[in-house]
Amino acid sequence: MIDRLYHRSKILMLLAFKPVIFFERINQLEWYKHTLQMWFESYAFESKSKILDIGCATGVLAQHISKAGYQVEGVDLSEGMIEIAKRNNPTIPYHVADVKKLPFKNEVFDVVLSASLINIVEDKNSALKEMVRVCKQGGTISVLVPLKGFESTELSALQQTLGISGFSLEALKTWNKRPPKMTINTLNALFITMGLNVQKPKKYLNGMVFSLSAVKGEKKTTVKAPNVNA
């Protein structure tokens, strides 16, 4: 109990006064890194793909993508995050920029990825429009977000599956509790308004988060989102 309160208090202090340090620590947790890697690897993108990681934070996903042999660039609104990302891997191009005003020409990237960002942006339409704008025709746009409706009982089961405790566990609880969540149907509808070819959603961390992907410029065929946890 004391250990749990200590780590919870530490997380709240970091979020309030040193959010960059908090997110740097989150990015180093094995369950978080593994989730990002599973999300990326589940799509088996072509080896020559040029990839943009929006909301890259300290660059943990961008580094994984780069090590896999892809050409990748990262964007984040936080200068502090980008400083850490550049320090971790100076060979990857990183940019301080707003998702609603990306510093790229039209149709530059084969793949546009964004984790835990579209759910916290107020103007979701403008953010997604920018993602679509910088994506090539036939390219893929994929976002990863917390799923609305994930229950506390499911979180307890996830904790046991992961076998985590201490800071890692409290960070997982915080990531589940604090950020705004989205339903699959809501995100699906947002993609459809952009005229995208929406693919079947995928779930990770026992359904705590999900990804939704779409192809730009192909004939519009939508996949109906499942009713369970939608």
Q: What is the DSSP letter of 147?
A: B
AA identity, residue 3: D
- 149-158 pLDDT, tens digit per residue, is 998 789 989 9
pLDDT at 81: 93
Q: Are 45 and 51 in contact (CB under 8 A)?
A: yes
The mean pLDDT value for 97-105 works out to 97
Per-residue pLDDT band at 121 (split at 50, 70, 90)? very high
To the nearest 10°, the Cα dihedral for 2, 15, 57, 175? Answer: 50
pLDDT at 151: 83
Q: What is the DSSP letter of 178?
A: S
pLDDT at 1: 57
- 166-222 pLDDT, tens digit per residue, is 889 988 988 888 889 999 999 999 999 999 989 999 999 999 999 999 999 854 433
The mean pLDDT value for 11-28 works out to 75
The answer for residues whose C-beta is within 8 angstroms of residue 121's C-beta and 6 or more apart is 99, 100, 127
Residue 115: Cβ-neighbour burial (10 angstroms; 0-12, 13-18, 19+): buried
Comparing 120 with 229, the larger pLDDT belongs to 120
Q: Which of these, 32, 215, 198, 195, lies nearest to 112 by C-alpha position?
A: 215
To the nearest 10°, the Cα dihedral for 158, 20, 85, 216? Answer: 60
Lowest mean pLDDT among 1-5, 35-39, 111-115, 202-206: 1-5
- Topology (CATH level 3) of domain 2-215: Rossmann fold (3.40.50)
What is the overall mean pLDDT for the chain? Answer: 89
Lowest mean pLDDT among 35-39, 105-109, 226-230: 226-230
pLDDT at 17: 63
Per-residue pLDDT band at 4 (split at 50, 70, 90)? low
The answer for residues whose C-beta is within 8 angstroms of residue 15's C-beta and 6 or more apart is 22, 174, 178
pLDDT at 90: 96
To the nearest 10°, the Cα dihedral for 89, 94, 99, 103? Answer: -160
Query: For 29-150, where are the alpha helices, taking DSSP H only?
Result: 30-41, 60-67, 79-88, 124-134
The mean pLDDT value for 23-49 works out to 91
pLDDT at 19: 75
Lowest mean pLDDT among 85-99, 125-139, 145-159: 145-159
Cα–Cα distance between 165 and 69 in angstroms, integer?
34
Cα–Cα distance between 48 and 46 in angstroms, integer?
6
Residue 114 has pLDDT above 60, yes or no: yes
Q: How far is CA 66 from CA 59, 69, 103, in A?
A: 10, 5, 20
